[in-house]
Amino acid sequence: MRYFVTGASGWIGSAVVPELLKAGHQVTGLARSDAAAETVAARGAQVRRGELGDLDVLRAGASASDGVIHLGFIHDFSRMAAAAETDRAAINAIGSALEGTGRPFLIASGVVGLADGRPVTERDMPDANGNPRMANAAITLSYAERGVRPVVVRFAPSVHGEGDHGFLSVLVGVARERGFSAYVGDGSNRWPAVHCLDAGRLVRLAVERAPAGTNVHAVAEEGVPTRDIAEAIGRGLGLPVKSVSAEEADEHFGWIGRFFGADVPASNAATRKLFDWHPAQPGIIDDLDAGHYFKG
């Protein structure tokens, strides 16, 4: 199969592209810059130059493929509405190009924001009138009615592993800057997590097998107490570990405070059963204890 992948040069793409190639598929990755093109090529994929806002490029890439994996997103938390609008236009461009073909169209989304304080399941549907990125997931699933095989992979907030520059790296940076590692309140609120390599394998299984309209949870650990995460960061940096109040969280952590203070457990039971998926990589605490997050 020939897959067109946006975000092929990114963190999750670093696992997805090799996983697809190893399974015998061909991959063309979208690249917005020379550096991204070099990264995509180094991962063994063909390169299609363009950005997420280049809708004609996206349509052409989708039309020339046997399926699309849309991992790209503009992660600018100061302009989330604009980023979500760009994403929506990209989704509609790709979806319209695949209309009537029965081909798979997999997008990346998240489990955060679907529920608070109870495990989110794959049956929980996004609110089309709520969070803009969640609304985009609902739009994607609607393409099942237009002859496409849409799949939404909802990722844990921490997709961890060596080379990660996401949420965990931000938390490590905050701890370094503040001189201690912190959690919010009593730290009992839970974060799901998945290793990048386990997530890459799941994306490949989902694009190959998932029925139209499926929500997939890229979640290996369903809910790790954030105090445990803060303590592992403290160990790694040799810093004390302290609580900050919910009122102090935004000032202490910056933009990530609202996420780190949330209780967002997520189930993976249906995903494991559907794909016979058994995460095999280290969990988030073992990954932190391995030390690579604290180099440099």
Q: What is the pLDDT of residue 114?
A: 80
Residue recorded with tokens 């303590």: 231
Q: What CA–CA distance (Å, rounded) separates 215 from 246?
A: 31
Q: What CA–CA distance (Å, rounded) separates 260 from 184?
A: 7
Whole-number percent of the chain with pLDDT over 70: 97
CATH classification code of 158-194+222-266+280-294: 3.90.25
**What is the identity of the amino acid at 129?**
N
Flag whether pLDDT at 290 surpasses 90.
yes
Strand pairing report for 190-195 and 221-225:
antiparallel
CATH classification code of 2-156+195-219: 3.40.50.720
Flag whether pLDDT at 21 surpasses 70.
yes
Tally the C-alpha atoms within 13 A of residue 89's C-alpha that lie toward its C-beta.
Answer: 13
With cut-offs at 50, 70 and 90, classify the pLDDT of residue 130.
Answer: low
Average pLDDT over residues 222-240: 98
Helix extents (H) in the chain: 13-22, 34-42, 55-63, 80-98, 132-142, 167-178, 196-209, 226-237, 246-253, 257-260, 269-275, 284-289
Flag whether pLDDT at 296 surpasses 80.
no
For 271-289, letters b (16+ CB in 10 Å) and e give: bbebbebebebbbbbebbe
Average pLDDT over residues 228-244: 99
Average pLDDT over residues 9-28: 98
Domain residue ranges of the chain, discontinuous segments joined by +: 2-156+195-219, 158-194+222-266+280-294
Average pLDDT over residues 156-176: 96
87, 141, 226, 261, 279 from 231: Cα distances, Å: 36, 39, 9, 15, 24
Q: What is the pLDDT of residue 204?
A: 99
- The radius of gyration of the chain from alpha carbons, rounded to an integer in Å, stands at 19
Flag whether pLDDT at 115 surpasses 80.
no
Q: What is the pLDDT of residue 128?
A: 64
Q: What pTM did the predictor assign?
A: 0.95
Closest CA relative to residue 182, chosen from 123, 137, 111, 232: 232
With cut-offs at 50, 70 and 90, classify the pLDDT of residue 113.
Answer: confident
